[in-house]
A and B are shown apart, each in its own frame.
Chain A
């Protein structure tokens, strides 16, 4: 029973490129959460999704960031036209519903 899988684990992008981060939740989990952790800072909530729906995106920057959780396949966090300030660890967590969260290992984005 695989845990939450995130890929890539490490991603390097140049300024202006696009970054796509993928999260496959645990089997049977239909709730996905994305968080960002800037260097030397705490975790910050970004977005909460259920299959094909964005439930809460109050933590998402207004521009360049988008997230989806399609009916089939992983959840994707997309960052367009990356800037150096986007360099961070992006964590995904999944759950069956409101309750215990299971975290992925994170995707570390470095923007050159």
Chain B
């Protein structure tokens, strides 16, 4: 069974800071999802990646399949980035416990 772990569990930042959220998994996978869940509960898929790096606006996701590790970066963070960020392996859809991010003005 794949174990998907995220760190940190909670993260606070000042507006403008660079944010990094990490995700490690125990069993090799073909691809990984990064999801964002807002306080209202809605879930948005941010990225699905199987290698290298993807960028969308201020969000950057990287993955190293050999090291079983992925990171989500947010540049120039903003209060509207406050949410829970979740990684999940795409093969069995096992989710990490999430990282709760709060960005203060």
Query: Closest Cβ of chain B: how far from A75's Cβ, in Å?
Result: 16
Contact A33 B48, CB 8 Å, known A42-B86, A101-B33, A103-B43? no
A100 at the interface (CB under 8 A from B): yes
Bound form: Cα–Cα A99–B88 in Å: 12
> Is B45 in the interface zone, CB < 8 Å from A?
yes
* Residue from the list B42, B48, B92, B97 in contact with A42, Cβ < 8 A: B97
Q: How near does chain B come to A103, taking the closest CB pair, in angstroms?
A: 4
Chain B, residues 1-42, CB within 8 Å of chain A (1/0): the string is 000000000000000000000000000000001010000011
B43 touches A91 (CB 8 A): yes
> Number of contacts between A and B (CB, 8 Å)?
42
A33-B93, A35-B95 given; name 6 further pairs at CB < 8 Å.
A42-B96, A45-B95, A99-B48, A99-B90, A100-B45, A105-B41
How many residues in B have their beta carbons less than 8 Å from beta carbons of A?
18
Q: Is A89 an interface residue (CB 8 A)?
A: yes
In Å, the complex CA distance between A48 and B90 comes to 12
A45 neighbours in B (Cβ, 8 Å): 92-95
Q: By the criterion CB–CB under 8 Å, are A48 and B45 in contact? A: no
Contact with B along A89-103 (1 / 0, CB 8 A): 101010000111111
Residues of chain B contacted by A35 (CB below 8 angstroms): 93, 95
